[in-house]
Chain A
Amino acid sequence: MNRCRYCGAENADDATLCAQCGRVLNVPPPQVLAQIQGVLPAEPVICTGHLAPEDQALWQELVTTVMAASPPSPPPAAVGPATTVGLGLLMLGVILMTAVLTPPGWRSDLSKAPPRPGVVAAYHLIAVLPSTARVLLAWDYDPTTQGEMQLLAQPLLRHLLGRRVALVNVSLRPLGPAMARAAFADLAMPVPLLQAPVDLGFLPGESAALQALALAPAGVVPLSGAARDRLALAGNEPLTAFDLIIVFGAETTAGRQWIEQIAARQPVPLIVVASGAVAPVLEPYAQTGQILALLAGYPDALAYEALLGIPGTATARQTAQSAVHVLALVVILVAALVRSLRRPPSS
């Protein structure tokens, strides 16, 4: 029999997925390139698959070992099907019903909360940009985190378009250009043709591409005549420096690559817009000043919209966001209570 290392359920020998929890049963051993991210162009596909990365599994094992008060015990009995169905339905119902049926009157105005320093810093960095400034936007996230990242991107894009600066899109992920187009398309304001961003597209090679971009940007992506006009480049003048770089990256690696390969090489103001899940890891870079402004998570999107004075998607959804968080907490507490009550007395 093939035993699942997550839930302990027994499965057939030839099974690849656990019949109980649906996870991968046999994690393949790490290969030569496993630890070198970005080598393969299909990395996002691998990342968005169900297979947990090896380092996460190691981290989980390490924390479990360290935190355990006694030597590791056999995995607990899996939650019964009735409980699983009940909790799953409850969670789904909570999210759907709250998002749809929460009345607009029930709204605690979160935008009045004082913004974090990173939000204020980002706002001022963009507010002082002259109209001749060139701003590089790095789109390094994929559809799995689009819901959160686009909330953060939209107020910044509105602000940048309001400043009438020249925008340049680039991405180290194959799906990045599509994310950029979606972010611009979902803006509640039309983008004038003259302000349409210059699209450098997908640059393969991750760190190597960034180094090439830092050393010889014109050689990495040849610019068309229209793009040169848009960026006010005279003759054969190369695309040398940007007045500001904004990295939209849902993973730690995205922000870190730009810091290590670009910001460490040339003094360029860097704003990192990250998922709330990775913000604690990037915080040290903000504290040392390598990142001039770090924005992360839904509250920062809301705070930026409040600073900007233009209500956007984050403002419109604050009712659902806050209510779902509160109710998700209730669901977690109820689930924990149910779980503890069902635990056998011996444990």
Chain B
Amino acid sequence: MNTFADLLGLILATVLTLLIFARLWGAVRVFYPVAYLLLGLLAGYVAVVSLRRVLIPGLLLPLQQAQAWPTLLLPLGLLVLLLLRMSGRPRLYHLGLPAVGWLAGAMAGLALAGAVRGTLLPQMLAVIVLTPTEGRHPGLDPVLTLLSAFLTLAVLTQAWHRQETNPTLRTWLTVPARIGKLALMAAAGVFLGSLLTARLALPIDRVYELVEAWSRMIGGGNFFISF
């Protein structure tokens, strides 16, 4: 297990990890070459996966079969039009617009239909259902609903308060606007807190992996159990 290649890989992993961490104290000149190296490797991996799992089985292999040609004409035509956009010549570039339109239209159509069917309608129906029902829908909690409605109005009032020029109206809006501001701050705090907690798992995982790998390499045991 403790081969020279393992040792070399572990040293490389440790050095690269420390160089990435160097970003924390502002060593940008050290950080960016390593970051670009990793992004380059990632891009290369994605290119290989795309070639092996998409282009070869989806395009090149079917092209070898004569009966598959009719079904490939349209995608091939769109592919050629898309490639024309990389030519750098304005006229050829514009020829690729139908392919881009097709691509964007299809994706937007799918996304829109999915959003209506899978998000908007179910979410709206869940709010409209006023009585608890069996199974999935827990029903509506009147207190929670009123609180949510109030907070929504307060957040809207916060935006209104900033734009209002009438002094009397501004005075009336001050209190709900402050509540709305607090609600916004709480929401932002929850979001940022979740983000921080989630992202902290990565450096902890990285350090653990490295320390465990080094302990296995040096002592053949588990550092955290034998500590």
Contacts and interface: CB of A to CB of B under 8 A. Distances in A.
- On whether the two chains bind one another, the answer is yes
B91 interface: no
Contact of A202 (B53, B135, B185): B53
Given A17-B32, A39-B107, A297-B197, A84 B118 contact: no
Contacts of B108: 36
Given A41-B54, A85-B25, A256-B119, A66 B159 contact: yes
Interface string B181-207: 100110010110011111111111111
A175 B115 CA distance: 25
> What does DSSP make chain A's interface, helix, strand, loop or mixed?
helix
B135 to A, nearest CB: 7
A261 interface: yes
B204 A85 contact: no
A88 B26 contact: yes
Interface string B114-125: 110111001101
- Contact-residue bracket for chain B: 35 or more
Interface stretch (B3-11, B39-47, B164-172): B39-47
Nearest to A150: B205
A151 B208 CA distance: 13
Contact of B114 (A150, A260, A277): A260
A321 B201 contact: yes
B106 interface: yes
A317 B137 contact: no
A148 B198 contact: yes
Interface stretch (A155-163, A206-214, A338-346): A206-214
A104 B200 contact: no
B227 A104 contact: yes
A89 B24 contact: yes
Interface stretch (A125-133, A139-147, A232-240): A139-147
B25 A92 contact: yes
A1 interface: no
Nearest to B133: A289
A88 B24 CA distance: 5
Contacts of A22: 23, 26, 28, 31-32
Contacts of B197: 276-277, 297-298, 325
Nearest to A68: B162
A325 B107 CA distance: 40
A100 interface: yes
A95 B126 contact: no
Given A144-B202, A175-B46, A49 B39 contact: yes
Contacts of B26: 22, 81, 84-85, 88
Contact of A95 (B35, B100, B203): B203
Contacts of B227: 103-104
A328 B204 CA distance: 12
Interface in A297-333: 297-298, 316-317, 320-321, 324-325, 328
Contacts of A96: 207
B152 interface: no
Contacts of B138: 287
Contacts of B103: 33, 39
A60 to B, nearest CB: 10
A120 interface: no
Contacts of A63: 184, 188
A239 to B, nearest CB: 17
A48 B126 contact: no
A299 B106 CA distance: 39
Interface of A: 17, 19, 22, 32-33, 36, 38-39, 41-42, 44-45, 48-50, 63, 66-67, 81, 84-85, 88-89, 91-92, 95-96, 99-100, 103-104, 143-148, 150-151, 174-175, 177-178, 201-202, 204, 206-208, 211, 256-257, 259-261, 263-265, 275-277, 279-280, 284-285, 287-290, 297-298, 316-317, 320-321, 324-325, 328
19 contacts: A22-B23, A36-B107, A38-B107, A41-B54, A63-B184, A66-B184, A92-B21, A95-B204, A99-B203, A151-B201, A208-B110, A259-B118, A259-B119, A260-B115, A260-B118, A277-B197, A287-B126, A325-B200, A328-B196
